[in-house]
């Protein structure tokens, strides 16, 4: 192997890598918040007695989950302007990731909803809670607690998906690493550093979310 390591270059550019990481986290955060809102609405909508609403949610989830995220990102960024929708690349990516997140979180919350024992809902009705009160004080809290582990894996996955933003020139971590790679030819170091940052961030997020899970799980 005819290669000598020079990590100094990486240190010199570390601030750019960190900027990229922060940008990725910010995009993920926005998309996750929007995705949770979408997911909650759709999960409850999928229990509706209205067949049209149920089908609509089903179609949304099925289409998004079976389509590659890169296609969705490119569609939103390049094709939507054809319909008159103007996004800058940041908004475009955040919107794409939010729609993507919404579909996955819908399934997460749906599973959480199914895990609410019917008997406990009955008990809520038996003490005189109205339908809304049962949903708010019994179903929703139990559903959220059920959904915590799956939310954790989904959030981490969505954070990793921010790397796709590179393709539309959003300067997040992967973009920065590629730039360093191409400009300095420090190939191994650049990608090692990027990977290390991603892995470390994922581990930190996972640990943090696990702590929250432990606090709230029905133990």
Partner 1 sequence: MTGKRALLSIRGLGKQFGSTKVLNEVSLDVAESDVVSIIGASGSGKTTLLRCVNLLETFEEGEIVLDGQPIGYKMVNGRRHRLPERELARQRAMTGMVFQAFNLFPHLTALGNVMLGLTKVRRLPKPEAKELALSWLGRVGLKERPLHYPSQLSGGQQQRVAIARALAMDPKLVLLDEVTSALDPELVQEVLQTITKLAEEGITLLIVTHEMAFAKRVSTRVVFMDHGRIAESGPPKQIFAKPATPRLRQFLRNAHV
Partner 2 sequence: MEDFLHELWVARYVLLGGLKMTILISAASILAGSLLGLMTGVSLAYGPRPLAWLMRGYVDVVRGTPVLVLVLASFYVLAVVGIHFTAVQSGIFALSIFCGAHMGEIVRGALQAIPKTQIEAGRSIGLTFPRILAYVLLPQALRQILPVWINTGAELVKASTLLSVIGVGELLLATQEIVGRNFETLQFYTLAGLLYYCVNFSIERAGKMAETRLKGR
63 binds, among partner 2, partner 1, none (CB under 5 to 8 A by kind): partner 2
User: In terms of CB distance, is 44 or 77 closer to partner 2?
Assistant: 77
CA distance 111 to 186: 46
120 contacts partner 1 (rule: CB under 8 A) = yes
CA distance 205 to 18: 16
User: In terms of CB distance, is 130 or 157 closer to partner 1?
Assistant: 130
CA distance 34 to 110: 17
CA distance 87 to 94: 10
Q: Are the beta carbons of 159 and 24 closer than 8 angstroms?
A: yes
Site for partner 1 in 144-163 (CB under 8 A): 145
Q: Which residues bind partner 2 (CB under 8 A)?
A: 1-3, 62-63, 66-72, 74-75, 78-80, 82-83, 160-164, 166-167, 174, 177-178, 181, 187-188, 191, 194-195, 198-200, 202-203
68 binds, among partner 1, partner 2, none (CB under 5 to 8 A by kind): partner 2
User: In terms of CB distance, is 26 or 167 closer to partner 2?
Assistant: 167
Residues 172, 213, 104, 59: what is their CA dihedral angle, to the nearest 10 degrees?
Answer: -160
Q: Which stretch binds partner 1 (CB under 8 A): 66-74, 140-148, 179-187, 195-203?
A: 140-148
CA distance 27 to 207: 20
Longest dimension (CA), the chain: 76
User: In terms of CB distance, is 148 or 180 closer to partner 1?
Assistant: 148
CA distance 22 to 89: 17
Q: Are the beta carbons of 202 and 156 closer than 8 angstroms?
A: yes
Q: Which residue in 6, 65, 125, 211 binds partner 1 (CB under 8 A)?
A: 125
Binding site for partner 1 (CB under 8 A): 117, 119-120, 122-131, 133, 137-138, 141-142, 145, 218-219
């Amino acid at each position: 192997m005819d290669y000598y390591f020079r990590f100094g270059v990486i240190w010199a550019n570390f601030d750019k890598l960190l900027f990229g990481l922060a940008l990725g986290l910010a995009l993920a955060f926005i998309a996750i918040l929007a995705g949770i809102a979408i997911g909650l609405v759709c999960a409850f909508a999928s229990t509706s007695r209205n067949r049209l609403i149920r089908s609509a949610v089903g179609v949304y989830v099925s289409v998004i989950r079976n389509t590659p995220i890169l296609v969705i990102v490119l569609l939103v960024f390049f094709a939507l302007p054809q319909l008159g929708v103007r996004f800058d690349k940041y908004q475009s990516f955040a919107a794409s990731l939010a729609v993507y997140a919404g579909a996955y979180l819908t399934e997460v919350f749906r599973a959480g909803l199914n895990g609410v024992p019917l008997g406990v809902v009955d008990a809520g009705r038996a003490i005189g809670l109205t339908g809304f009160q049962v949903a708010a004080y019994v179903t929703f809290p139990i559903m959220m607690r059920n959904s915590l582990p799956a939310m954790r894996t989904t959030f981490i996955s969505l954070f990793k998906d921010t790397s796709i933003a590179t393709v539309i020139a959003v300067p997040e971590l992967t973009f920065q690493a590629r730039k360093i790679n191409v400009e300095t030819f420090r190939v191994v170091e650049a990608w090692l550093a990027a990977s290390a940052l991603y892995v470390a961030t994922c581990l930190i997020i996972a640990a943090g979310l696990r702590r929250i899970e432990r606090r709230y799980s029905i133990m």
